[in-house]
Amino acid sequence: MINQYFTERRSVRKFQKKEISQSLLENIITAAAKAPTCGNMQLYTVIATREESRKKELSAYHFNQPACGAPVLLTVCADFNRFTRWCNINNADAGYDNFLSFTSAVADAMIFAQQICTIAEMEGLGTCYLGTATYNAPEIASLLKLPEMVMPIACLAIGYPDEDGVETERLPLRAILHDEEYRSDSDADITELFRVKDEYPANQKFIEENGKENLAQVFAEVRYPRAMNEEFSAKLLKWLNATWYK
Ligand SMILES: Cc1cc2nc3c(=O)[nH]c(=O)nc-3n(C[C@H](O)[C@H](O)[C@H](O)COP(=O)(O)O)c2cc1C
C-alpha cells in the first residue's frame, strides 16, 4: 500500500500566524538536500523570506496571491553560479553558460523544491507553490540580489495550516501511464480522459463564473491565455539571455 500521506495530500493557501522555528526550517532543508541532483552538483539555492516588509515586496511579484500570507516564503532557485565559481577558483573550464546546463539546474531546483514540500507536509506543515516566480523572475532576482546564472524557479509558501485545503481531481492512470510507446489517442479518447476534470463540481463552477462553454476555455482563455504566456515568455528569455546563456 502507498503511504496515505501521498494519496491525501493537498496544497494549503491559508496559514496560522505561528512562526516556523529556524531549527525546523533548517532540518527540512538539510533533509531535502538528500534529494537526487544532477552529478551531485546541487544546482540550487533556496532563499527564505520572513521579514514582513520584504515579504510584502516579494508578494507583489506573486500578484499578492492568497498563499503569500505564509510566515515563510522560500524562493527556490536554479543555481550554476556557485559551481561555476568553484570551477574558476580551481582553474577548471566551467562551460555552464548554455541552455543544456540551464535545464539541469532547473531540474535540480524543482526536485529539491518538491522534496522540501513533501518533508514539510509530512512534518505537519502546509505548503503551496507560487509558479509566478518565473513570471517575474527578473524583478525577484533584483529584490533577492541573485547573481548571474541564478534563476528563481518556484516560490514555496510554507507554514502551519489554517485550512484543510481543497480536494482536487486527477486524470485517470491511463492518461499518464503508457506502455512501451507513446499511445496515440483519438479525440474521443482524449475527451474521455478529461471527463473527470470536465465534470468535477469545482470546475463546473469555474466555467459558470467565467461565462465560458467548457473547462478547456477557462484554462486557455482565462487562467493561462496565449497573450500572457507570450509576454512573460519573451521577458524571461530576454533576461536569461543577459544573465545565463545566449
Ligand atoms: C509549478 C507549479 C506552480 C504552481 N503555481 C501556483 C500558484 O501560483 N498559485 C497557487 O495557488 N497554486 C499553485 N500551484 C499549486 C497547484 O495549483 C496545485 O498543486 C494543483 O492545483 C493541485 O492541487 P493539490 O496540490 O492540492 O493537489 C502550483 C503548483 C506547481 C507544481
78-110 per-position pLDDT tens digit: 999 999 999 999 999 999 999 999 999 999 999
Residue 49 is placed in which grid cell?
A: 523570506
| Ligand 1 pocket member 134 (CB < 6 A) | no
User: Does ligand 1 come within 6 angstroms of the Cβ of 10?
Assistant: yes
Does 43 reside within a domain? Answer: yes
Q: Distance of CA 20 to CAs 48, 105, 158, 205, 225, Å?
A: 11, 28, 9, 35, 36
Q: What is the mean pLDDT of the chain?
A: 98
- The tally of domains found in the chain comes to 1
Domain that holds residue 12: 4-165
Q: What is the pTM of this model?
A: 0.98
Cβ count within 10 A of residue 24: 14
The C-alpha cell 476534470 sits at: 197
User: CATH number for the domain including 129?
Assistant: 3.40.109.10
91 alpha carbon – ligand 1 mean position (Å):
42
Nearest to 194 by CA among 170, 224, 211, 229: 170
